[in-house]
Amino acid sequence: MSDTGDLEKGPNKGSELGQNDGKEELPPVYQLGTADGTGAVFISCTQKGDNYLIRSRAMLSAFRAKSKLPFIKRTRIKPEEDDQLRERWEVCNSTIIVWIFNTVAEDIQATITGAQDAKLLWDDLKR
């Protein structure tokens, strides 16, 4: 037996936002690294009316790179209240909402404040 402690828990443990108290490895879709905070620059393009297609393609690529595309495609459904992953889903969903919020113009931000679901927000911006 090795005496390496936390080193054997995997690369996404410790101070990472995706930690799960060292009990088990979280699926990648629920992991958030220290660079994934709500103040991070997600993409440099801001939605300002007629550039939706360019911005949405950039966002989809960024979501894919961060393993968060299932939240937007709704292939990752919200876990039940008693599911141990429910809180992680809420944290990731909220982070994605902030990422989206930070990539739209101020006049659009005023209309989406209070969004609770990243998928619904994403779909609303498409219209």
Could you give the dihedral angle defined by the CA atoms of residues 25, 117, 96 and 93, in that order, rounded to the nearest 10 degrees?
-20
Q: Delimit the domains of the chain by residue range.
A: 51-76+92-126
State residue 73's pLDDT score: 93
Is pLDDT larger for residue 43 or for residue 16? 43
> Rounded CA gap, 27 and 115, in Å?
25
State residue 126's pLDDT score: 87
> What is the mean predicted confidence (pLDDT) over 21-50?
82
pLDDT-based confidence at residue 41 (cuts at 50, 70, 90) = confident
State residue 3's pLDDT score: 44
Q: Which residues pair with 104 in a beta bridge?
A: 47
